A and B are shown apart, each in its own frame.
Chain A
Amino acid sequence: MSETTNNHHGVSVQVRGLSRRFGNHEVLKDIALEVKPGEIFVIMGPSGSGKSVLLRHIIGLETPNSGEILINGESVHSENLASKYRMAMVFQSGALLNSLTVGENVALYLTEHRLKPPAEIRRIVAAKLETVGLKDTEAKFPSELSGGMKKRVAIARALVIEPQLILYDEPTSELDPISSIVIGQEILKLNQRTGVTSLVVSHDRDLAFGIAQRIAVIHEGEIVALGAPEEVRQSPHPVIREFLNADFKREPIKS
């Protein structure tokens, strides 16, 4: 697939008037945003606000009721898009193939598309696993890994593609703070090293403000704020204020 394009630069993403409903529930309402090539763009919002559904539309796994998604100006559903641009997604659960070993999972893209000889694939897999701090785990099965390790394998699997667009769905959910920082740093390093366009969906405020060049806040299927992290932080919108200021406070139990 990737032999047609050797371009390592990121691609632009345009979302225009995107709406999606499941039954009577409108999950996405007229979403419009633009992500520049090489940008780290974070979509933030509370659980159930439609962030992951938006991400699934951007990678082409869902078809919207109306609107369109353009990758470098071409519809994400166009016939030859996958052969023109390399795109990858890191799923919230990792979505590793449980019947394959870690090594086979990471190598899957290269083996299935027969892009490299087996020895070269083994070398690349070892290198990518080392990049995400999982050296010598090739022979393990996903069931033997922790949640954080599965996510890092999923990132390694995405790295093998050398993507021009990478989508992360809640990359730090279920992770401890240290692992979250490691994942955040990996996202930044990859972006700096390859110029990949990164779209990150998260409700992790620290991650979002730590890595984003721009942030969109989505609430009940609508974008309520979009801009640089500082602009979003200063936004007076009540949903954003509530989201950013939410903190756990122990309240005394009334007898």
Chain B
Amino acid sequence: MFQNIGEMVLLFWRTLLALPLTWRQRGKVYEQFFEIGNASLLMVCVLSFFLGGVIALQTGPVLVERGLHNAVGGLVGIAMAKELAPIMMAILIAGRIGSAMAAEIGSMQVYQEIDALRTMNINPIHYLVLPRLVAIAVALPMLVIFSVLVGWLGGAVVAEVTGQIDISFRSFFEAMKDVVDLDDVLNGVFKSFCFAWIVGVVACHQGLVTRGGPRGIGRSVTKAVVNSIVLIIMFDYVLTRILLK
């Protein structure tokens, strides 16, 4: 385990050192960025709408019963912006994109494509890891902003159409405006930026250390997703602690 952590830290550091080369790899960054966005946007939309809706549904009747109509919008707003959108999107991306990254790099490792790159003096970190990490570090925060907006919309719709809550669209957002400010959204976006690096580094590392054919690739994919989710949740606590006012 400690060897894996050490290797991941090293991979992260080497990728940071390679960041000035991002412009040279912009074609691949764009390709990966499109892949992440295209593969996830609809899913993000559906997931976020229902997430926002379910928070409104769970908390709305209880708060309204106690005369706290104004708290529903704020609660949905804060929950989506600071916690649910960043963590759920990171988990979604770990499952959809992290697994694909580990599988692709893992299969390149197993079928000697990465060895072929090395013999051509092409650094696999520059060629494979850098574009993926840069793309995910840009795409995930953007998806989170999108998720926050759709989640708020979901909460507002559910609050309006549910008889036990019965808060109008306008009242929902006005109440939210009083509680949620830009810092709350930026807080979530920053968290998602950190989670993006975690998913990218874990997935690329698992791909690069893949051994043993198709079964090894499968093992790497599973490890990439599971390890990413565990690390996301651990770091979520740490980051929340640090960002707590």
**Shortest Cβ gap from A142 to chain B (Å):** 10
Q: Assess whether A243 is interfacial by the CB under 8 Å rule.
A: no
Residues of A contacting B111 in the complex (Cβ-Cβ under 8 angstroms)? 93, 95, 98
Mask of A100-111 contacts with B, CB within 8 angstroms, 1/0: 000000001100
Secondary structure at the B interface, as helix, strand, loop or mixed, is helix
Q: Assess whether B118 is interfacial by the CB under 8 Å rule.
A: yes
A87 to B121: give the CA distance in the assembly, Å: 9
Residues of B contacting A141 in the complex (Cβ-Cβ under 8 angstroms)? none
Mask of B30-71 contacts with A, CB within 8 angstroms, 1/0: 000000000000000000000000000000000000000000
Residue of B nearest to A59 (CB): B119
Residues of A contacting B116 in the complex (Cβ-Cβ under 8 angstroms)? 89, 91, 95-97, 157
Q: Assess whether A82 is interfacial by the CB under 8 Å rule.
A: yes
Mask of B113-146 contacts with A, CB within 8 angstroms, 1/0: 1011111111000010000000000000000000
Residues of B contacting A109 in the complex (Cβ-Cβ under 8 angstroms)? 120-122
Contacting pair B127 A112 (CB below 8 A): yes
A96 to B118: give the CA distance in the assembly, Å: 13
Secondary structure at the A interface, as helix, strand, loop or mixed, is loop
Residue of A nearest to B121 (CB): A82
Q: Assess whether B112 is interfacial by the CB under 8 Å rule.
A: yes
A140 to B108: give the CA distance in the assembly, Å: 19
Contacting pair A113 B121 (CB below 8 A): yes
Residues of B contacting A61 in the complex (Cβ-Cβ under 8 angstroms)? 115, 118-119
Contacting pair A87 B119 (CB below 8 A): yes
Mask of A153-165 contacts with B, CB within 8 angstroms, 1/0: 0000100010000
A93 to B107: give the CA distance in the assembly, Å: 13
**Shortest Cβ gap from A209 to chain B (Å):** 27
Residues of A contacting B119 in the complex (Cβ-Cβ under 8 angstroms)? 59, 61, 87-89
Binding site for B on A (CB under 8 A): 1, 56, 59-61, 82-83, 87-89, 91, 93, 95-99, 108-109, 112-114, 157, 161
Given pairs A87-B119, A89-B116, A93-B112, 10 additional interface contacts (CB within 8 A): A61-B115, A91-B115, A95-B112, A95-B115, A95-B116, A97-B108, A97-B116, A112-B120, A112-B122, A113-B121
Top-10 shortest CB links A-B: A95-B116, A95-B112, A82-B121, A89-B119, A109-B120, A112-B122, A1-B121, A97-B113, A91-B112, A59-B119
